[in-house]
Chains A and B, each alone.
Chain A
């Protein structure tokens, strides 16, 4: 296929501005799509930046900051908006990717009668822990969920999921939700740049892999006004998450099960 060289160079020149550092390593060092051909549907899909990469993504959640924020629910609102997560209005069909659980439920093996009040009655933000040793990945009969080798994210392939819900059984944290019915009518504000899911598949947080590919932080991290959510590369000794882990005592959920969760909590 021959390409008109002049036209090609013209395009190259115009779009070079949009690129912070060029395409992902795998793609040839060609040029991005012109503003003409790429419609800016939401801000999120505007001219792409270099993707965020890591060897092991992890999140540190500072429950103290979350507690101070009071009735805030920004992380869930942002996540559910960006990912077209439906709201069915009843706990039976409920789908949630990230939410505020009571500390008692999120860490019920840590709980005792005389636990300090502010922790005991405080919130704990919970989501998929993207475990290093994920039991959900082990049990999936079609590999519709798998652990990405390059950065440790436990991914979902909604094209392949057969809806057997074995992964929901295997998850010790209750992070996964199943689409018991067609979610389309229950999505308040459809975002066209991210697909919805269909009924009959399991879904969960994917650490915003599509945003990371566009050079953006996960939606919840960006939305948290209290700065309680920190996201970064555990293998990078200079990352924010490593700093926080170095400076504070942190706990993880159900550490005794050997799942090696990658969401750490500062209590």
Chain B
């Protein structure tokens, strides 16, 4: 390979630079960091269990959005057998009262800015 040495050296440097976020966090012992979420203020169970919610709460909310708005299907029975209103503000935030100690913890860490909050109100934030 013509100039093989320089090319391979260049590739190695490139790989090191591109994987910087990974090895930097490992080196600083932050690889295992998981944001700490505030426990729900009330209620024993959620509409779904935590393992589902951690990964798929967005899918659930999207489903709810279409079911409530487009099909007028506003109530459901959660996995715990309790009937819930499909509502971010009235149901989810009823128990998980503090958005900044619950929702924002992971969202801020991941750099995610969901625009739900443009319209959907956090009840606790408006109570004087």
Residues of A within 8 A of B87 (CB): 193
Q: A162 near B: Cβ within 8 Å?
A: no
B103 to chain A, nearest CB (A): 15
Residues of B within 8 A of A254 (CB): none
Do most interface residues of chain A lie in helix, strand or loop, or is the interface mixed?
loop
Do residues B85 and A38 form an inter-chain contact, with CB atoms below 8 A? yes
B67-109 vs A, Cβ < 8 Å mask (1 yes, 0 no): 0011011111101111111010111001100000000000000
Q: A192 near B: Cβ within 8 Å?
A: yes
- How many residue pairs link A and B with beta carbons under 8 A? The number is 94
Q: A132 near B: Cβ within 8 Å?
A: no
Do residues A24 and B73 form an inter-chain contact, with CB atoms below 8 A? yes
B15 to chain A, nearest CB (A): 42
Given contacts A198-B115, A209-B72, contact A32 B81 (CB under 8 A): no
> How far does the alpha carbon of A28 sit from the alpha carbon of B77 in the complex, in Å?
8
> How far does the alpha carbon of A190 sit from the alpha carbon of B124 in the complex, in Å?
12
- B89 contacts which of A23, A36, A195, A213 (Cβ < 8 Å)? A195
Q: A8 near B: Cβ within 8 Å?
A: yes
Do residues A197 and B119 form an inter-chain contact, with CB atoms below 8 A? yes
Q: Which residues of chain A (162-220) have a CB below 8 Å from chain B?
A: 190-193, 195-198, 209, 213
B74 to chain A, nearest CB (A): 5
Question: What number of B residues sit within 8 Å (CB to CB) of A?
Answer: 33
Do residues B120 and A195 form an inter-chain contact, with CB atoms below 8 A? yes
Do residues B74 and A30 form an inter-chain contact, with CB atoms below 8 A? no
Q: B121 near A: Cβ within 8 Å?
A: yes
A22 to chain B, nearest CB (A): 10
> How far does the alpha carbon of A148 sit from the alpha carbon of B121 in the complex, in Å?
26
Do residues A39 and B94 form an inter-chain contact, with CB atoms below 8 A? yes
Q: B126 near A: Cβ within 8 Å?
A: yes
Do residues A27 and B77 form an inter-chain contact, with CB atoms below 8 A? yes
> How far does the alpha carbon of A34 sit from the alpha carbon of B73 in the complex, in Å?
20
> How far does the alpha carbon of A146 sit from the alpha carbon of B72 in the complex, in Å?
13
Given contacts A38-B94, A195-B119, contact A3 B75 (CB under 8 A): no
Q: A92 near B: Cβ within 8 Å?
A: no
Instruction: Apart from A37-B43, A213-B72, list 4 A-B contacts with CB within 8 A.
Output: A23-B75, A24-B75, A193-B123, A195-B119
A→B interface (CB under 8 Å): 1, 3, 7-8, 11, 23-24, 26-28, 30-34, 36-39, 41, 45, 48, 84, 146, 148, 150, 155, 157-159, 190-193, 195-198, 209, 213
